[in-house]
Chains A and B, each alone.
Chain A
Amino acid sequence: AQSVTQLGSHVSVSEGALVLLRCNYSSSVPPYLFWYVQYPNQGLQLLLKYTTGATLVKGINGFEAEFKKSETSFHLTKPSAHMSDAAEYFCAVSDPPSGTYKYIFGTGTRLKVLA
């Protein structure tokens, strides 16, 4: 069964610093990969996705992620953190080519941005 691991349930960065949120998946074949952000008392907002093609994916709000098959990773980065980036971030996988359409989510990483 597929699983998703997000290292670090809490990450703190200074405003203007690099944001790096880690996500590793377990799968023998490349799945579909997603990053979502959740603000308090809100639903999930899609930041970016990887299905096929270019391994460096750009998303909204300056975020990007790189799919690395050899490392089974899909880490989320942003060059310069902004106070408004403080939220919880979830990595998710699905595998439609193999018939797995549901999303499997990581446990989430809460990002704190320090002034």
Chain B
Amino acid sequence: KAGVTQTPRYLIKTRGQQVTLSCSPISGHRSVSWYQQTPGQGLQFLFEYFSETQRNKGNFPGRFSGRQFSNSRSEMNVSTLELGDSALYLCASRRDRNTEAFFGQGTRLTVV
């Protein structure tokens, strides 16, 4: 059974640009959540999608957005990148909202 796939693994972007990260959940999983991991702030919840609807959003500015498609694949977008957006972005896949989460290997975003 394939795990959670995140693409790309590494990204380097310039301040002011925008970026799109992709996540393919485990087959049959309907919930996808995104987390940001930084040395200073640790693991912070960005948002959760379930059945193509955003169910919950963390305390991040509106520059961070996401969506989920009918096949449960999800994308997150960050516009007008700032240096502080440099982080490891992790996608978590769950069969249902109350089951355990399985994480992808993450996308390492570096903003220069």
Contact = CB atoms under 8 A, between A and B. Distances in A.
B25 interface: no
Contacts, number: 53
Contacts of A42: 105-106
Say whether chain B's binding surface is mostly helix, strand, loop, or mixed: strand
A34 B31 CA distance: 17
B55 A101 contact: yes
A114 interface: no
A46 B101 contact: yes
A90 B43 contact: yes
Interface residues on B, range: 20 to 34
A72 interface: no
Given A46-B100, A46-B101, A49-B100, A102 B90 contact: no
A14 interface: no
Interface of B: 4, 6, 31, 33, 35, 42-43, 45, 48, 55-56, 58, 90, 92, 97-98, 100-106, 108
